[in-house]
Structure 1
């Protein structure tokens, strides 16, 4: 199994397409770093020298511990390691396009990518556009505030602003209760800017999937997680509805195998346990 990482400037390409239509193990250095930083492409139809298909998988850019860049500039995390382990188990090749969450979904919709793995929640609405794999992770939602904040409960949010990240469980939950508790929300495309908004005081709190928030705090983020924990949703790998059934089948079979042989637990523990 071979993989390649492509950090490509797809935003403009995808925007044009939309108008026309209406990990690797963090302990190993990615030998394709140059391709990761320099190569560009506008199609997912890629083949190896021997003629076998290379699947293009879109992902987010900053959603640690599921996908993020390490010190060497390589994309690592739970999602990246699961994808690598599944591909190795099933014997398929792939390349990763780290373009951001919204762009990753659009890439699959318009045919710029074969699949997406990006801490993506399986929802009924998304099932109208995507076919999902079996769930590979279940994440609760938590609320975090600045370290010196006296906010401890949802009632304390009344009349204030809350930061959320687009497309996440946390965003969905915050929007579902904001009218009840009288607060407003500001959406961000990535977690780092969401956290910063809380740290500088523009927002008094943020909602995020617990493993993401816990990892950020472990890494030194100056916010604190409150005692509130809410049921979140399941994460899934996805392909465009009715497309790439063979890839989805391989992902499900590979996922079942790495769960059975202990590799899955090894991957998750690496990023979530001290």
Structure 2
């Protein structure tokens, strides 16, 4: 897998800082006639690895499909990319954007009506379903078979909502890595998350018990009202779809070509 061209050292933000910087302090403001960014010359992206293949650490840098797409946006804006590791709750709620931690949130975020109240989403760029990861040889596969199981979910995700909607007993974790570790140690019987993020673990003593079709779509997010930036993001998404870049990135990071339609 290729390394990103414009990644600068990652900034860790394990605890959401509510006193964020404003674009007028160090970035370009709309009043100056340019695109408002948290830091001048830099597209700052909040993300929540590990969430392979969308964002994860490789050789000390955060890489993945989301980061590669963010690079394309940055290229079109003639700026560099910086990633800020942020709890998913702060990403999906819009808190990280509102605090001025970043310009863009990119973390495999399913577009939902609730999140649309807090974030302005780009056009969809990835179709997703929920998957069930279980130990090899497990008989857990259907919703019915999970009735007495302890299912690990990632907090504030659509996977958590799906599990609760189906009446499953869940244990919450902050990220995918903690979910997989809990399955490895027997703390949970199975884990639910977006299916594309579970397939990298199939060869590690786990198997995919099921793929539950939920017809979700991922979007990139900006602060509410950031029309100029949103237009730029959508412009890049349109460009990479038309010039073949998206298909190449998808194949590189997901491992298969995107399906037609």
Question: Of 29, 47, 50, which residue of structure 2 is paired with 1:62?
Answer: 50
Q: Return closer, same or farther for 1:76/1:156 CA change in 2, 3 Å cut-off.
A: same
2:250 is matched with 268
Take 1:167 and 1:268, find their aligned partners in 2: how far apart are those partners? 26
1:188-221 deviations in whole A, cap 9, x for unaligned?
Answer: 111111112222222111111111111232xx33
Question: Comparing 99-108 with 256-265, which one deviates more in the overlay?
Answer: 99-108
Does residue 214 of structure 1 match 2:199? yes
What secondary structure sits across from 2:237 in the alignment? helix
- TM-score, structure 1 normalization: 0.79
Contact 1:7 1:99 in 2 (8 A): no
Question: Of 231, 236, 239, which residue of structure 1 is paired with 2:214?
Answer: 231
Contact 1:116 1:237 in 2 (8 A): yes
Does residue 133 of structure 1 match 2:136? no
Take 1:144 and 1:232, find their aligned partners in 2: how far apart are those partners? 19
Question: Of 255, 260, 263, which residue of structure 1 is paired with 2:237?
Answer: 255
- Alpha-carbon RMSD: 2.3
Contact 2:88 2:174 in 1 (8 A): yes
Question: Comparing 168-177 with 76-85, which one deviates more in the overlay?
Answer: 168-177
What secondary structure sits across from 2:141 in the alignment? coil
**Distance apart, 1:12 and its partner CA:** 4.2
2:173 is matched with 188
Take 2:80 and 2:227, find their aligned partners in 1: how far apart are those partners? 16
What secondary structure sits across from 1:119 in the alignment? coil
What secondary structure sits across from 1:62 in the alignment? coil
1:240 is matched with 223
Structure 1: runs of 5 or more not aligned: 18-41
Does residue 202 of structure 1 match 2:180? no
Contact 2:16 2:96 in 1 (8 A): no
Question: Of 58, 61, 64, which residue of structure 2 is paired with 1:74?
Answer: 61
Bigger proportion of residues as helix: 1
Q: Return closer, same or farther for 1:234/1:251 CA change in 2, 3 Å cut-off.
A: same
Question: Comparing 104-113 with 57-66, which one deviates more in the overlay?
Answer: 104-113
**Distance apart, 1:264 and its partner CA:** 0.4
Q: Return closer, same or farther for 1:12/1:270 CA change in 2, 3 Å cut-off.
A: closer
Question: Of 72, 80, 88, which residue of structure 2 is paired with 1:85?
Answer: 72
**Distance apart, 1:47 and its partner CA:** 4.5
Contact 2:129 2:211 in 1 (8 A): no
Does residue 116 of structure 1 match 2:94? no
Q: Return closer, same or farther for 1:151/1:12 CA change in 2, 3 Å cut-off.
A: closer
Structure 2: runs of 5 or more not aligned: 29-38, 257-261
What secondary structure sits across from 1:265 in the alignment? helix
Question: Of 140, 162, 185, which residue of structure 2 is paired with 1:151?
Answer: 140
Take 1:195 and 1:43, find their aligned partners in 2: how far apart are those partners? 35
- Number of residue equivalences: 238
- TM-score, structure 2 normalization: 0.82
